[in-house]
Copies of this chain bind each other. A is one copy, B any other.
């Protein structure tokens, strides 16, 4: 597949988003330096990209989209900063740079994560949409990132070593840990842009599949990638004896599973026709990503 047009579109988005994000987390204090270190200058920006593309199906311009996308990225990055801590995954490398607690120290990394999460909700409050809708977006962001969403998945991940895992349990874990925010990205963009329930349902089904593809390719990259390209340590799961889609399905089986999900994800977008072209190409991008 020639995805050069898609990739240049994504790169343009990343540059535009970086500007918006930097503006919303200005350098004002010692802790904002750590927040910006973790937040800026790297990252695929997949969640904000999905949010903006999802909104684009329904409207050319949607007020508050950059606030909502920046908030979501703050939540995502706070979770990375805390997950990388020595007491959690103990990672030294993230997005090709030393992790926040390596570049600064653990205390500042904990606080910067806390401040990013707090900033996320502050940014949501300024979305210029109907207040009822903003509250709906915020409630769902809290759910997607809380103990029944992302944090719940992280807890399952920590506890995963305690009991044997199978495809169903790994899928459940990843639906929470990674899937919840990816789903939120697609859902919130569409909601902000005024999508109706039926369209929201179709997009959420798409996002469920995409989230899983993302995690399966993450597991594949952990085995086949090199740290320099991937931007973080590889062979980690294997070294830790952690169950992954690859350890359960085998490399070929994991690739096949991802391909089947990719076909299904694209079919979910059929009702939207041409307007969902970029969301459809995003499936291939995630499927074939190298970092």
Contacts and interface: CB of A to CB of B under 8 A. Distances in A.
Interface stretch (A7-15, A102-110, A194-202): A102-110
Interface stretch (A48-56, A57-65, A139-147): A139-147
| Most chain B CB within a 10 A radius of its CB, from A78, A121, A131, A145 | A121
A110 B126 contact: no
Contacts of A121: 121, 138, 142
A159 B105 contact: no
What is the interface of chain A mostly: helix, strand, loop, or mixed? helix
A80 interface: no
Contact of A125 (B31, B88, B138, B155): B138
Task: Give the oligomeric copy count.
Answer: 2
A143 B122 contact: yes
A32 interface: yes
A24 to B, nearest CB: 13
B135 A147 contact: no
Interface stretch (A112-120, A203-211, A231-239): A112-120
A85 interface: yes
A190 to B, nearest CB: 20
B142 A119 contact: yes
Interface string A8-37: 000000000000000000001111100100
Contacts of A115: 146-147, 151
Nearest to A155: B31
Interface of A: 28-32, 35, 78-79, 82, 85, 87-88, 105-108, 110-111, 113-115, 117-119, 121-122, 125-126, 130-132, 134-135, 138-139, 142-143, 145-148, 151-152, 154-155, 158-159
Given A118-B142, A125-B139, 11 more contacts: A111-B158, A114-B114, A114-B117, A114-B151, A115-B151, A117-B117, A118-B147, A119-B142, A121-B142, A122-B139, A131-B134
Sort A-B residue pairs by CB-CB distance and give the 10 closest, nearest first. Answer: A131-B131, A87-B106, A122-B142, A125-B139, A118-B146, A115-B147, A121-B121, A31-B155, A31-B147, A115-B151
7 contacts: A78-B114, A85-B110, A87-B105, A111-B151, A117-B118, A122-B146, A125-B138
